[in-house]
Amino acid sequence: MKILLFLILTLSGISFNLSAGDPPLNSLFQQGNEAYEKGNYLQALTHYEQALKKGGKSGKLHYNLGSAYFRLGRIGEAIFHFRKAKDYLPRNPDVSFNLQYARKKAIDRIKTEKKGWLDIFIEQIPLNQKEVYYFFLFSSVLFWGICISLLFKKNEALRWMRLFFALPFLASFIVWGLQLANNGDFGVIKINQTGVYSAIGKDNVVLFYLHSGTEFGVEEKSEDKWIKIVLQDGKKGWIREDAVIVN
Amino acid sequence: MVKRQMRNLHSVFLFFMIFFMASLSVFGMEITLHLDKNELTQEDQLELQVSIEGDEDFNSFPKLRGTEDFEVQSSGSSSQMSIINGVAQSKKIFQFILMPKKAGTFTVGPAEIEVDGKVFHSNEEIVKVSKSQSNKQETNRPVFIETSVSNKEPYVNEQVIFTFKLFSRVQITNASFEKLPEFKGLWKEDLQGEKEYETVINGVPWQVTEIKYAIFPSEEGKMTIEPFQLVASVVTTERRNNPSPFFDSFFNMSRRLQQVRLRSNPVELNVKPLPNEGKPINFSGLVGNFSIRSELSKNSLQVGESATLTLQAEGNGNIRDGKLPDIQWDGFKIYDDRPELNLRKTDKGIMGLKTIKKALVPLRPGSFQIPPIALSYFEPQSHSYKITETQGFSLNVVQAPQDDRESLSLTSPASPSNLKKDIQVVGEDLMPIMRGNGDLTNESMEIREKGILLFLIFLQPVLYLLGIVLRKRREKIFQDKGYWQREKAYKKFKSDFQSLDQEDTLFGNASGLLKVYLGDKLNLDGKALTPMDASRKLIPYKVSSELVKEVEEFLKTCEAGQYGGGPWGPQEKKKIKENLLTIVKKLEKEVRV
């Protein structure tokens, strides 16, 4: 009973959080939009960044922020925010277009092997994290609900329904698992050029140089403000934290 | 007697002496460090020899102390074993080549070796390393290498030419780099392959092999380009000691290959930061000498049509990193194409041409004066920022005729054309930003929300398992009529036991309680059970014989108490109650249906 009460209270807490509007956040977003429309990209950027600091977490905000960075010639940050926007709005064609467009401006070309079908499948999942979770819950309630009903009442129609709902349940489980496994940190180079070192510290060997807009995966973050990165072609090394933007 | 004692004493002494000498034999190792010279220059190399002699054979390798300021390479070892007067003697020689990293006076050694847990040390040697010799002295050698940079104090991102030269006045073969320098903190581009030519120094012809690199320092401060290290075989000719009287002098010469190791000087750069003074706001990041030019595809066009503006920046320097100016003009939409880069590598460095095409689409009619486009760069020669500009243009934009479409449709054929053309993309731009109000947080998920959703998701299979258990129980109750009675027997007993008093009726009630419990548990009419019946009924349920006996005794005691009367004290009555509880608890554990 206590657990039930806790659940009800926590869920109501969530719904309260979700429904509570934050006027300053919205007004910052609107101010940013107005500045952007007038061509004051730096001002727009400041408003969007403030909105982000105040807890703004939406595809729209990241998308507009990415656009402002792009207009200011800061390709690294633009790509980063377009990628974040795509996480929230995976079906939005404008987000995909802008991300592709910004990626064209990146200097470094990274040779990658042909993508496996699994990578292509993960990229094509048209749901964001929240949608995946709710889809999983919904399909799970349907499937297990029918299974439990069948324990106490034998019914041919219910048997067919169980078979029918097993498919979305399995699909949602696989998608949830893949998204969970593929949810590693990523980052983008934000300065014109930076060296990637063999170990932490500038005294080490520079393995290669990367330029603004190059994307990488984050393997490790050290307390000395250095990050171990891995490129798509498997190259690895350490890079200064202030040269990159990471999630 | 005394003589015998003396003889015994002698043999004991002899035994101890032999034992003592044997124990000393471990310490009979001699280790010597020898250098071929004690004075050399930074480009020279030192031959170091560690010779170890002793009557113990060993497999360990000597450690060299005091060689931190040298690069040490092993150049082989030899060993020799000899047995003199039945005593084995071993001699091992380890050879090393030492190349000094810097000038100074150093103490080389001692060499150390560990045998059977004991460490032996050699002597030390003093070595004086003087700075690089001048070229005049270099020319005394048959082969040498030289490295140089075009500018030792460049600015950040300034192009510097790094030249490597191998000079030889004898025939060399198998030349290969043993160690290439790390261009730490520098961006390096190869300028050309190997270039070979001949030069004359002090009247002596030298064969020169030259390699050039363009380097761009990416950070300010002092940096060092580490030395190149090269190994080559020098062909030397020697006259034979016993010349053959039948052949001419050519056949009396023998050819020999001698391996040499060469090392260049480290090159130090002091990279200066670009000055902040006079730095234009829209500084392109270019360092070198550059020019910019532009070309417009047409000077007159209609609203909505596009003209191509070609911008070209050319120059000597880091053109790859440079950013061409962004253009925003009132009355025009401007779309950028992808920049193209052409690099030309010459002896003097990298020359580059960066081209970007922009599509200009006028939004309204009128006569426009296109202002010059400026490119800012830093010129290292004058230590200042420069601005180079294109020429301005005039552009005449006329209104597109309203009836264009109609007139076209009149002249166009009614049927669809087969001569379709690919759409030519003249510009690209970002999609517009997203507007509108709404919650800016509802697309994200907090950890708490995720946790609750996962709890709810994984609760369901647990509920399903509980359902299976519940169903099985239900099925059992349905199939086995006595199941429920059995399951509840103990609970019923416990509740009745609470109300059991210690009056005279205690024996009858206690016996009745046990019989009812047994009846419920064994699914029979318990009230009619006699002590003998009870024990007989319990045996098939694999209850221990002690417990069966206890039950029988208890029921008999109760019967005696009930019918036999007698004075029963409260202690006995209390004990009866306790016994009853103990027996039922044991039965609950042991009776398996």
- The confidence score (pLDDT) of residue A193 equals 85
CA dist., res. A240 & res. A202, Å (int): 9
Encode pLDDT of A18-51 as tens digits: 444 444 888 899 999 999 998 888 899 999 999 9
Which residue in the set A104, A130, A134 is minimally distant from B443, CB to CB? A130
Question: DSSP secondary structure string, B475-527?
Answer: HHHHH-HHHHHHHHHHHHHHHHHHT--SSTTHHHHHHHHHHHHHHHHHTS-GG
Reduced to 3 states (helix: H, G, I; strand: E, B; else coil), residue B138 is helix
- Cα B257 versus chain centre, distance: 43
- The confidence score (pLDDT) of residue B467 equals 93
A199 near B CB under 8 A: no
Q: Which residues pair with B224 in a beta bridge?
A: B268
A195 near B CB under 8 A: yes
User: Which DSSP helix (H) or strand (E) runs through B424?
Assistant: none
Instruction: Answer for the pair A114, A90: CB distance below 8 angstroms, yes or no.
Output: no
CA gyration radius for chain A?
23
Mutate to test the interface with B, among A5, A10, A18, A58 (most CBs of B within 10 A): A58
CA dist., res. A190 & res. B290, Å (int): 26
Residue of B nearest to A70 (CA): B430
Q: How far is A64 from chain B (nearest CA, A)?
A: 5
- Of A119, A49, A54, A125, the closest CA to residue A87 belongs to A125
Which residue in the set B442, B452, B471 is minimally distant from A18, CB to CB? B442
pTM of model > 0.80: no
Please state the ipTM of this predicted complex: 0.79
| B334: exposed, middle or buried (Cβ count in 10 Å: 0-12, 13-18, 19+) | middle
Furthest-apart CA atoms within chain A: distance in Å: 73
Q: Which residues pair with B536 in a beta bridge?
A: none
- Of A45, A76, A44, the closest CA to residue A245 belongs to A76
- The confidence score (pLDDT) of residue A145 equals 93
Reduced to 3 states (helix: H, G, I; strand: E, B; else coil), residue B292 is strand
| B447: exposed, middle or buried (Cβ count in 10 Å: 0-12, 13-18, 19+) | exposed
User: Which DSSP helix (H) or strand (E) runs through A234?
Assistant: none
Helix, strand, coil share (%) of chain A residues, nearest 5 = 60, 15, 25
Which residue in the set A33, A104, A205 is minimally distant from B435, CB to CB? A33
Work out the mean pLDDT of chain A and round it to a whole number: 85
- The confidence score (pLDDT) of residue B20 equals 38
Residue of B nearest to A65 (CA): B433
CA dist., res. B68 & res. B48, Å (int): 14
CA distances from B341 to B332, B355, B428, B544 (A): 26, 6, 19, 97
User: Which DSSP helix (H) or strand (E) runs through B58?
Assistant: none
Residues comprising chain B, all counted: 593
The pLDDT tens digits along chain B (593 residues) read 444 554 554 554 444 444 334 433 444 678 889 888 888 777 677 888 888 887 766 677 788 888 888 888 777 788 777 776 666 777 888 888 888 878 888 988 888 888 777 788 888 888 888 876 545 455 567 888 888 898 999 998 899 999 888 888 888 877 777 777 777 778 888 887 788 888 888 778 888 888 888 888 888 888 888 888 887 888 777 665 555 555 455 555 666 777 777 878 788 899 999 888 888 877 888 899 899 988 888 888 888 778 888 888 999 888 877 777 878 787 888 887 777 888 888 878 888 888 888 888 888 888 888 888 888 899 998 999 998 888 888 888 888 765 444 443 333 444 444 445 566 666 678 898 988 777 787 777 888 888 999 999 999 999 999 999 998 888 887 777 778 788 888 888 988 888 877 676 788 888 888 988 988 888 888 777 888 888 888 888 888 888 888 888 888 888 888 777 666 777 877 888 888 899 999 988 888 76
| B162: exposed, middle or buried (Cβ count in 10 Å: 0-12, 13-18, 19+) | buried
Taking 60 as the threshold, does the pLDDT of residue A3 lie above it?
Answer: no
- Cα B301 versus chain centre, distance: 57
Instruction: Answer for the pair B79, B92: CB distance below 8 angstroms, yes or no.
Output: yes
| CA atoms within a 13 Å half-sphere pointing along the CA-CB vector of B526 | 20
CB contact under 8 A, B444 and A58: yes
CA dist., res. B471 & res. B469, Å (int): 5
Looking at residues A56-85, what average pLDDT do you find?
Answer: 93
- Of B107, B99, B64, B48, the closest CA to residue B266 belongs to B99
Residues comprising chain A, all counted: 247
A167 near B CB under 8 A: no
- The confidence score (pLDDT) of residue B24 equals 38
Which residue in the set B430, B440, B464 is minimally distant from A58, CB to CB? B440
Q: Which residues pair with B284 in a beta bridge?
A: none
CA dist., res. B353 & res. B508, Å (int): 116
- Of B451, B442, B435, the closest CA to residue A57 belongs to B442
Q: Which residues pair with B273 in a beta bridge?
A: none
CB contact under 8 A, B440 and A205: no
Q: What angle do CA B329, B334, B335 make, to 5 degrees?
A: 160
Strands (E), A148-233: 186-189, 193-197, 206-211, 215-221, 226-230
Reduced to 3 states (helix: H, G, I; strand: E, B; else coil), residue A29 is helix
Residue of A nearest to B469 (CA): A151
CA dist., res. B553 & res. B240, Å (int): 125
Q: How far is A16 from chain B (nearest CA, A)?
A: 11
